A and B are shown apart, each in its own frame.
Chain A
Amino acid sequence: MSYEIVARPHQQNFIDWAKDKPEVLVLSADLTNSCEVGKWRDTYPDRFFSMGMAEQNMMGMAAGLAREGFEPWLHTFSVFLYRRPLDQLQMSIAYPALKVRLVGFLPGIMTPGGVTHQAIEDIAILRAIPNMTIFEVGDATEAQSVLDVAHDVQGPVYIRMLRGEVSRIFPVTEPFVFNRARILSTGTDITLITSGIATEEALRAVPLLQARGVSVTHLHVSTLKPFTDPQVVAALKSAKSGVITMENHSIIGGLGSAVAEVMAENGISAPLQRIGLKDTYAHGASQKFLMAEYELDAAALVKRVEVAVGRKLDIDESELQEQRSINVHSSAKVEAL
């Protein structure tokens, strides 16, 4: 399997998209080029506001602008949008349900910047905040089509965004749809629900699993809050041997927890295995290295499926490597911290 690689999917797309939307502003906290909005700034200098390394004030100013009818799109790394300025995010933006868009780059372990740069519990924290909507994009098509979806939400939105060299997994003709999962395969043994970069990783293993006689229903989820898609409930009900979630996030409070809540609320009885960071911080290293170290990769998924179906599947690492469409340790992935 190989995908088209899109270089900087957000950069020009966001410029074109914002052209006829004068209310759309960008606020940036000293990571402008790192968040692919340097060219946006040069194109629309009157709509770009540099806030410096001062995220608490950035939240408040975004709130004031939104109250006056502007739509600020804050661009910085995920981790800087919710850790330090959490009270400001809650009291200035979330409580009044203002149309502020928080575009967070390098979610989870996608950065070699280490613990200070790794947003591993952002979904858990933001899911608990009333009025928030949470999206996570899984490919270039979603990185580009999430703009329309976010624009339509009449309240604050947090987006786990992708940058740099990004695979196009989903056709351009199938854009991001609010609160609707993508059904990537159907089967009756395992229900696999993935989000963000975990989807591309899981897609490396799924064909091999199917070749070994394990039928898999695979859903890609890109709306994490609300989490009320009836397709998810139906898929969970169909799992004979178990449910597996896979996410670039802590296993506490993110996709895995959201699935567990839905299963409990709907009386769905099946073993649930959550792939994600097992209640641990990570450290600075390449994405590929960290995904292997913390068992977030395709090999980890195979092991979980073996547990669920109760047999060895004899899939070795070289087979999984052959499924790898891009080298996630390429130079483009570690540029411009």
Chain B
Amino acid sequence: MNIVIVGSGRTGAFVAELLDQAGDTVSIVDVERSAFKRLPALFKGSPVLGDGTDMDILRQAGVEKADAFLALTQGDNRNLMAAQIAKKIFGVEQVFAKVNDPIRANTYRGQGIFTFSRTTILGTLLHAVIKGDKTIGPNLMRAAMQHDAELSAELPSVTR
């Protein structure tokens, strides 16, 4: 799949790495060059420097051929604007936007954008684990913790 990600923060860079390893073609957009340091050394995708709400930058990132688009910057509104450009102007099939305000997330979910709120996802997950949910909670937690372990193992150990 061709995937465009806007925002190379912790989440953006992490998803970019997962998709890149899975063999997808990933472009990742960020206004800060230093944000690309979060990408792994062996990243095969393309970092694109620029504003992810700018149509020309998105074109440069290949939004016209993208199968999926993920808006993962720190700004809810920036994510919603980028996501709507991808959906309504470029007609990208699957569009995701990180929207931390649950109410705004819900409003735009009805507009064809897959919005998700870190607040409610994390809260729901923690609640499920604490209450002994047998399915979703433990599975998701296990997968997430495995990624944590992999990321830690990649760090070179310091010898004194």
Bind each other: no
Where the two chains meet, the residues of A that have a C-beta atom closer than 8 Å to any C-beta of B are none
